Structure 1
Amino acid sequence: MDKIGIIPLLKPPGMTSHDCVGKLRRILKMKKIGHTGTLDPSVIGVLPICIGHATRVVEYIQDLPKEYVGTVSLGRSTTTEDADGETVEERSVTTPLSEVEVKEVLKSFLGTIDQVPPMYSAIKVNGRRLHELAREGKEIERKARSVQIYELHVLSMDLNPPYPEITIHVKCSKGTYIRTLCVDIGKKLKYPAHMKNLQRVASGPFRLKDCVTFEQIQEAVEDGTIDSIIKPLDWALLHYPEVRVNLGQVPDIYNGKKIRLEMDFTEGQLIRVYSMEGTFLALYKAVYLEGEAWGKPEKVFRLEGE
């Protein structure tokens, strides 16, 4: 099978992102497949999978904001910061929390925050992944990283003792650990906490309603309708402005030559380049040379074949 595009997969529980890629390789009988960001095995939801030349846009999808729905469970913290870990501290809530207090705490996380990555994560330190060290019983110092919380609000609350739960919707930048956010929310409420469950509901432009299951993909391969569930690779780039070039400029694009831009763009702005007929050709970057706006090739896509 020789396909190019993006499949918005509904990731099931119990599989790593790497497992999902392996299964799709078997279903599609393709090798050139890549996922767009690691999801823990227990997390379900939106996982865009790039196939063929679309693997070249993985980095741009990874950079886009993500949205999650998860539940903060107060009264118990764990080694993994989620429900799968062993208990570290348990201190049940005896006095009911107020909704106002919870909402004020959530509001304090909006904007740029610093997070210390959990030990049970895929981050590498000195060539070793943190989760490998954690499973050996080791804990090392981790540097805090800045992340962005664009939106954070309550979907539901059960604040009754002894173990209150707060279900939240989060829109955040790449690199945000929702597990750690849940723990930090608990700290501000003065209780140990962990993330009870998590679902990714959006990754860039891809939302739950766009997603398909492995079973649906398998059926589409068998009945010859697989093209209907593969999104064009530029679908992940629609937040960038576009320009169109005439037929005579298309060979220049394919040969990686710069093009004169007829309108002004911000220096470094990425731009989608199309033929007049609407064929996606390349991703260019705006630069200024002697005061004139030019586009220089960032990624050129020959979609007629691998």
Structure 2
Amino acid sequence: MFYMFNGFISIDKPPEITAHDCVSKLRKLLKQKKIGHGGTLDPMATGVLPIAVGNATRLLRFLPDGKAYNAKIRFGIVTNTDDITGEVISDRPCPHLPLAEVEQALACFQGKIIQRPPAFSAIQVNGQRLYDLARRGEITESDIPTRSVEITEIRLLGWTLGDYPELDVAIACGGGTYIRSIARDLGEKLGYGATLSSLRRTLSNGFDLNSSLSFEQVDALLRSHSLEVLAPDRGLHFLPKVILKEEDSKRWRMGQTVSRQSPLHNEDIPSGYVRICDAEQNFLGISEANDNGFQPIVVLYPIN
């Protein structure tokens, strides 16, 4: 007997597979087609990958933006992909690199910075993926568009000496940030070059490692009929909650905009996206609060 799941599963992604591979694997395990992920993660990387199942796929675009990583940066090595999986294009041992210089340079990456994404990335330029252009040798650094990203925290975790010293660092950042680019640029700033040697995502879009499962755990829970997905509004608690009266919640589920006077608790709700709940606190979906009232945007349980 198979059950239809609606909600989120936060996967602890193993190395050497893509986010798309994770979705395909989960589709086979759950025997459900309607599954989508909440942001890519490089094949080399491990860690948090939020995956929406069933009608929760319609909520992916509302998840919060923040991400956090534990990264290891190896100095003295430069690769064409900006991580350890790429072709080595520079090899310069630096056993005497002082940690004090590394810490001073690291501080320059705190806050809003301008970043050049890796040549081997999924960003599109003139309708083509950068990694396709890079593989064909049709892209140069000057062709790659830079972007503004925000690093909210960058913190030293450890330092390993050797011919190719390695820095362990915790990084919290906004969406669109490439940790590979931070590794590359830090190495350039210090004059020896560097590449990302390992990466583990600890937080993504409101989900963390504590709420994440390996595929082996998902499989075991399915076999014991004890798998419970995370609630559809998991990760959305930063949005204001609006509780509607019974009749108004029915009208809202029929796709009708309801008045700002409708909530049971008629506090001042700012304009923008809000969570809609019924009188029993059941999450019904997402509305846009505007001058006209609460306009349905995503209705999880519509009434036809």
TM-score normalised by L of structure 1: 0.91
Deviations 1:112-144 (A, max 9, x none): 111111111111222321112222232240110
Q: Give the Cα separation in 1 of the matches to 2:89 and 2:189.
A: 18
Moved segments of 4+, more than 4 Å: none
Partner of residue 268, structure 2: 264
SS in 1 for 2:291: strand
SS in 2 for 1:226: coil
SS in 2 for 1:237: coil
Q: Give the Cα separation in 2 of the matches to 1:45 and 1:242.
A: 30
Unaligned stretches of 5+ in structure 1? none
- Aligned amino acid, residue 196 of structure 2: M
Deviations 1:19-78 (A, max 9, x none): 1111111111110011111111111001111010011111223x5201000011111110
Partner of residue 300, structure 1: 299
Kept after mapping to 2: 8 A contact 1:93/1:162:
yes
Partner of residue 117, structure 1: 117
SS in 1 for 2:158: strand
- Aligned amino acid, residue 255 of structure 1: M
Q: 1:94 to 1:208 in 2, by over 3 A?
A: closer
Compute the displacement of 1:94 (Å).
5.2
Counterparts of 1:44-63 in structure 2, within 5 Å, are: 44-61=46-63, 63=64
SS in 2 for 1:41: coil
Deviations 1:154-208 (A, max 9, x none): 01112x3531111110111111100001111112222211001000011132111
Deviations 1:228-254 (A, max 9, x none): xx1011012111111111111112211
Counterparts of 1:173-184 in structure 2, within 5 Å, are: 173-184=174-185
The size of the alignment, in residue pairs, is 294
**Larger CA deviation: 122-131 vs 141-150:** 122-131
- Aligned amino acid, residue 276 of structure 2: V
Kept after mapping to 2: 8 A contact 1:77/1:89:
yes
Match among 133, 144, 150 for residue 146 of structure 2: 144
Q: Does 1:75 align with 2:49?
A: no
Match among 278, 286, 289 for residue 286 of structure 1: 289
Partner of residue 129, structure 2: 129
Q: Give the Cα separation in 1 of the matches to 2:231 and 2:216.
A: 21
Partner of residue 263, structure 2: none
Partner of residue 211, structure 1: 212
SS in 1 for 2:197: strand
Kept after mapping to 1: 8 A contact 2:66/2:206:
no
Compute the displacement of 1:222 (Å).
1.7
Q: Give the Cα separation in 1 of the matches to 2:42 and 2:95.
A: 32
Q: Give the Cα separation in 2 of the matches to 1:74 and 1:166.
A: 8
Kept after mapping to 2: 8 A contact 1:253/1:282:
no
